Structure 1
Amino acid sequence: MSHLKTGTEYSPPDGPLTSSDCEDARPRKRPRTSPIPKTQSTKVQELACGFIVNTDQPFGVFDDRYLRELLQQFDQDLFSQIPWSRSSQRRQLEVVFDSKKCLVQQSLREAITKIHVAFDLWTSPNRYAIVAVSGHFLDKEGRQQQRLLALTRQPGPHAGENIAHTLRRVVEDWQIEDMIGTLVSDNATNNDTCADHFFRAIEPALTQGDRVERRMRCYGHILNLVGRAFLYGEDGETFEQESQRLLDADLIEDDLRHWRRRGPVGRLRNIIKFIRASPQRSERFQTLASEADDQDAWLIHQESSRELQLILSNETRWNSTYQMIERALRKQGHLQTFLIENQMEEDASKRLPAEDVLHPEDWRLLVELKEILAPLYFQTMRCQGWGQRGSHGYVWEIMTGMEYLLDQLEDWNAYFNDPAGGAVEQYRALQLYDGSSRRKGPQASQPAPMKGAEEPSMDHLPLHTRADFMSGRADRLASLREDSKCYIRLSITNAWQKLNEYYTKLGSSPLFAAAVILHPGRSIRWLEDRWSSDEQQGWLRDAKDGLERFWMAWYRDNSAEPGAEGSLNYPAIPRRTDCSAGPRREESAYEQWLNSRTERLADESTELERYFRLELPVPIDDPIQWWMDRRLSFPTLSQLALDVFAIPAMAADCERAFSLAKLTLTSQRLSMEPSTLEKVQCLKNWIRRDAVTLGGLYFNNRGAIGEE
């Protein structure tokens, strides 16, 4: 039985089984004369289940002698009525899950929007292929909601058709097939196939074009690809896979050379690996930092999962590299002190290879790389979170965010791409221009950065300090060697090409542009301002036509009489009543004919036409509430807008589910069945989103912290 001791699903007792042990394993029945009300015992059992789920405790946690003794101190009678054994807690999980699932299902049916499904795949620590399925929607009050619908096994290969079959099974289990809006996933080609098969199965009437329009690309995955292209070249995925292959083969020196060829970023990575690989070197680095009286934390960077385990390509995140560079620049003095001391070691085997030592030019280059990557990093952090009432993290930010990043990359490219050396003065003059607006070609002024963005901006600097700021930046550029500038230009080009590749793919669905047009704080004017060239005028027409076609096909009531929509709230001709004019005279035949034609023209204006005539954009942070307030005026267009604003920008909630599942699947719980893990993680999501209560207790409104 020794092989059974590795998991917590079965733990043999220290001695032989007794009759009392067997009795405790059976469901405990409440005596008929119990003084404890059933509602109270049910509440305690739900709270016990919540404790296990929320804190990732093993099901046998209440077998602990000290905890049992502690609980008995409060109410011996109540304690004796509750089945505390491991098997009882596992059964209680089933009961609670089933009862709470009904409540979540009811909230899904009461959603005022379509339910948008985000999904992602993962390999669990106990080697199961797992797919996370998450639903996004607006509730009755217009609040954005997210529910984990499944964390289930994905049988067979990761082919699109197989994944589609799993997704179909999930939505059928929840009975929401008729409520599905879009699919949100990363940019893998098998997900294109998955979307096609999925929508064909749940809604056979959809054409191939209709199915493509409902496949939404995860913004986080796009940003990840762009960041990797900037850091590792055109094929960053292949580079990282080769590094992993070398590590798996224990070819450490080859891996160091592999990273060293990537320039200062690769050598910085080798330095940090060198320090962290030895407790003695780590301790020495801490000592040097302490001696320098540095108040910063010692942690060099937040270590990515790629350095801890074999990974799927879509699990790799470039963010940790940005954080590594940013923290290394803050700790530059400590690193240089450590390296100087290390190079003086008598034993050559204890020294960092001389090829990995960073020189002053390398540090200058790292400063520029960090500056260029900062907007990309902040876009990632902004959109992966959960904004309040549509503020961020939703689909309207994808197109605007990509436009912003394209602008940034093009400006940086112009900054580093002047062989005559005149870019410094030109850039300085451009940045000190009072309007501080930068646009390509004949385009008009650029809108201000999105409200809430945290990117460092010179706009926040007092006018009298900007010259000194730009002078320092210009001096940095002048001090860079030409080969460093060439390195930066190549990195910018790689990132721009990758970003532009996916920017052009946004045209496959009208919903990306529709999210901008239907945002009253952006509107069609935002795109008109951005897309002003002859070629871009075609993009603008396509965006407007795509929105109108989608609305006409799926939202507008074509059976209604012309002028029926919104006519109660928008009278054809506003009339002013003049009481002093006496009785109203009777209209002549000509006036009746003229007014009838005028009223008909006004009534025949569609909701979309009336929306385009509004004085937009307006300063607004909450597009959802804006449309909620206008549901009577725009009954069908508001429904489309609300459906669109329920679409998440990323499938980040699926990755959160994977991260939380890893906390549950510790090395002592690897025998847990996937079905049990699914129930634990779904319940954890529901209680932390306040979708359900356990023991009558909401999770967040009692001062507890949220999932983030």
Structure 2
Amino acid sequence: MASSKNKRSGVWNYFDQNDQHVVCKICQIELSYHNSTSTMRSHMKSKHQTVNIDQSTEERQLPITAFTTAGNVRPMCTPERAEKTTNLISKMIARDMLPLSFVKGDGFKEVLHFLEPDYNPPSRKTITARIELQYECKVSELKTTLGKVEFVAITTDSWTSLTTESYVTITCHFIADSKVKSYVLQTRALEERHSAANLAEHLKTSVEQWGLAGKVVACVHDNASNIVAANRDVDWESLSCFAHTLQLAINDGFKAASINRLIGACSKLVGHFHHSTIASNALKQKQRQLELPSHKLMQYCKTRWNSAADMLARLHEQRWAITAVLSDRTTTKLADAKTLELIDDHWQTIEEILPVLQTLKIATEALGGENYVSVSMVYPLVHSLLSRHLQVSGEESQKVNEFKNTVAASLKQRVHNANLQNAGKTPLLASALDPRHKHLRFLDENMRVSVREKLFEQYQSISSDVMGAGGAVAAAAADEEDEPVPSHRRRLSLFFGEDYSESSRDEWEQFLTEPCIPPDEDPINWWKDNTKRFKKLGHLAHRYLCVPATSVPAERVFSAAGLIVNRLRCRLSPEHVDMLVFLNKNM
């Protein structure tokens, strides 16, 4: 092999000579050599444009794992680096919900060439294969995680894509590492009719495929009759989404004649500013003059009751700017102003009803989270609404009191009276295990006793050898932090058994007499610190506190899915839709 020391051209720093051939040190390609550097220079200009072949002698001594461009050292694109780049691109597409055709874009290729001149951009087919591989790896990883969990809850909901395909989403929730964890299991197309039988079969099959048979505590869903019926003959408890139930109750309040007229008038007013460029620009000008926030008006959507609260709050904030625009004849005709202006009684009702709506909005948002305990708050929250926030007041107008009475009556019918007949329901047992609400003051004395009796029955049925992730494992983790118990003491404890000292009853009674923690503290952290003292109850806490109060986690998938299945990706197969949603939500 000839040495490059006697070669004058800088191009020799990037080639090795072997008889009548030269080999590029960057990409390992072999070229013919005929006592001329022309072929090598052409190769460098076409394949490695950013490399400075006319570098100094000092620069020639740099290792071939790097090359210079504009005075900076850049790592060479090795096969390993190219592999990692391709994987990162596929992850980016899933995480940012980009179309697969993104890799074919000229702009993307231009940026990529600037960053990695020696990297060959992947094709759509390559990216699809990588996404499929990432999906398989993530599914395997999640199944391993779920295999270590003793109790899970699931939520489900269905939606229809732009391509009119019907999908059913299932999410799962459990407690691990002292945290409430949530994952999207699948978003599968359901070609059959959404009958109760088909949905039930779909749920059972999915639970078995994910290795969750016998682990599901409850399924949370909306109030649709087909999904309610599908959850009747199953191994888990059927729970209606509380957010959906609360929305139905609030919508009943909106149907009251006076509030209905107010909502209609406000929606019409907001619609005028949304559809008129002149009115919208005039509003911006009035906002600057009156030093009001530059906020757009918000429209009411019937499927989201809290949008009514947002609409009224924004109108109240922008009242004087709106009034100024409507009274300006250069921007608003007199005839339009007469039909759009809100009367003083409307503005007064808005001011009075806003605190009520804000309270209901807080209740909805408090129960819609995925990463904290929520099911135990359902009945305490309903009780607080009925006993405090929805109580009529002589200082408020008849319209607001009518709204309160209607919502309260609907809540009592849909939640309070209907569901308080069963002391063994998950939300009640969860409240009894939640150190914030275990006093059960929101129940009458008879119901309080019934709930505790149901819980104590389950408590007594637990033996030490069946406690899994919820009890024994957590207790063992707590034990590791303390000094180990001498072996002879452990043997004596096993010899006499738990019943010898009535420790089981002591644990139960001690838990009942423990003071409650404040409502804003995390019950999972409390159980983390106290599982060693209450091992069996900790086991039950893991069972019931993992259940979400709403099916919002499944509904949240729709927004991501709507961006994935769009007009740029209308040819995506249902299988790839499932993969992309799964990766997007579980990364």
Q: Shared topology, TM-score over 0.5? A: yes
Aligned-residue offset at 1:75: 3.4
Normalised to the residue count of structure 2, the TM-score between the two structures is 0.75
Q: Percent identity?
A: 19
Structure 1 residue 365 corresponds to structure 2 residue 349 = yes
Instruction: Name the CA distance, whole Å, in 1 between partners of 2:516 and 2:288.
Output: 53
Distance 1:55 1:665 in 2: 13
Determine if the alignment matches structure 1 residue 495 to structure 2 residue 407: yes
Kindly indicate whether the alpha-carbon contact (under 8 Å) linking 2:380 and 2:442 is maintained by their aligned counterparts in 1.
no
Instruction: Specify the alignment match of 1:459 in structure 2.
Output: none
After superposition, the Cα gap between the structure-2 partners of 1:169 and 1:70, relative to the gap in structure 1 and judged at 3 Å, is same
Say which of 255, 278, 287 aligns to 1:232. 255
Range moving further from structure 2, 64-73 or 159-168: 64-73
Report if aligned partners of 1:260, 1:356 keep a CA contact under 8 Å in 2: no
Q: Does 1:514 align with 2:429?
A: yes
Higher strand fraction: Structure 1 or Structure 2?
Answer: 2
Deviations 1:332-358 (A, max 9, x none): 11121222236995684xx15x45531
C-alpha separation in 1, matches of 2:136 and 2:465: 42
Deviations 1:219-268 (A, max 9, x none): 211221222122224xxxxxxxxxxxxxxxxxxxxxxxxx9982222211
Matched, 1:176 2:163: no
Q: What letter corresponds to residue 137 of structure 2 in structure 1?
A: S
Tell me if 1:162 matches 2:233: no
Question: Could you tell me whether the CA contact under 8 Å between 2:168 and 2:189 is conserved in 1?
Answer: yes
Deviation at 1:274, TM superposition (A): 2.0
The one-letter code of the counterpart of 2:564 is T
- Aligned counterparts, 1:354-433, within 5 A: 354-387=338-371, 390=372, 394-411=374-391, 413=392, 415-416=393-394, 424=395
Does the alignment pair 1:674 with 2:586? no
Q: Which residue of 1 aligns with 2:166?
A: 129
Are the aligned partners of 2:284 and 2:294 in contact in 1 as well (CA < 8 Å)? Answer: no
Query: In 2, are the aligned partners of 1:186 and 1:218 still within 8 Å (CA)?
Result: yes
Alignment of 1:535-614 (within 5 A): 536-552=444-460, 555-556=462-463, 602-603=502-503, 605=505, 607-612=507-512, 614=513
Q: Rate the CA distance shift 1:496–1:559 in 2: closer, same or farther, 3 A.
A: closer
The one of 85, 95, 103 equivalent to 2:133 is: 95
In the alignment, does 2:567 pair up with 1:685?
Answer: no
The answer to whether the Cα contact below 8 Å between 1:230 and 1:494 also exists between their aligned partners in 2 is yes
1:261–1:558 CA distance, 2 compared to 1 (3 A)? closer
Query: What secondary structure is seen at the aligned counterpart in 2 of 1:60?
Result: helix
| Paired position in structure 1 for 2:480 | none
- State the partner residue of 2:107: 66
Report the secondary structure of 1:130's partner residue. strand
Structure with max Cα Rg: 2
Matched, 1:191 2:227: yes
SS at match of 2:91: helix
Determine which of 417, 420, 423 is the counterpart of 1:504.
417
Partner Cα separation in structure 1 for residue 361 and residue 238 of structure 2? 25
| Structure 1 position 659 matched with structure 2 position 559 | yes
* Amino acid across the alignment from 1:269: S
Instruction: Report Cα offsets for 1:143-196 as digits up to 9, x if no partner.
Output: 211110011113333322222222222222222223212111123333321212
Residue 154 of structure 2 corresponds to 117
State the alpha-carbon separation in 1 of the partners of residues 333 and 305 from structure 2.
Answer: 37
Determine if contact 1:325/1:370 at 8 Å carries over to the other structure: yes
Q: Contact 1:409/1:496 (CA < 8 Å) preserved in 2?
A: no
1:32-84: CA deviation from partner (whole Å, max 9, x where unpaired): 9999766544422221111111222221212222322332333344x13x6x1
Q: 1:144 to 1:530 in 2, by over 3 A?
A: closer
Give distance in 2, aligned partners of 1:676 and 1:653. 21
Hey, what's the Cα distance between the residues in 2 that align with 1:32 and 1:180? 58
CA 1:333/1:317 → structure 2, altered by over 3 Å: closer, same or farther?
same
Rounded to whole Å, the distance in 2 between the matches of 1:399 and 1:345 is 49
Contact 2:77 2:116 in 1 (8 A): no
**Structure 2 Cα separation of the partners of residues 136 and 626 of structure 1:** 19
CA distance in 2, matches of 1:318, 1:653: 18
Gaps spanning 5+ residues in structure 1: where? Answer: 1-29, 204-210, 234-258, 307-315, 417-423, 425-476, 478-484, 570-595, 688-708
Question: For residue 567 of structure 2, what is the amino acid of its counterpart?
Answer: S
1:85 is matched with 123
Residue ranges of structure 2 left out of the alignment (5+ in a row) = 1-26, 31-64, 66-75, 477-495
Q: Quick one: distance in 2 between partners of 1:491 and 1:547?
A: 37
Check the 8 A contact 1:137/1:144 in 2, yes or no: yes
Whether the aligned pair in 2 keeps the contact of 1:155 and 1:162 (CA below 8 Å) is: no
Aligned length: 486
Cα distance change on mapping 1:297 and 1:45 into 2, 3 Å: same
CA-CA distance at 1:401 after TM superposition: 1.2
Q: Could you tell me whether the CA contact under 8 Å between 1:322 and 1:370 is conserved in 2? A: yes
Please tell me whether residue 44 in structure 1 is matched to residue 44 in structure 2: no
Q: TM-score when scaled to structure 1?
A: 0.63
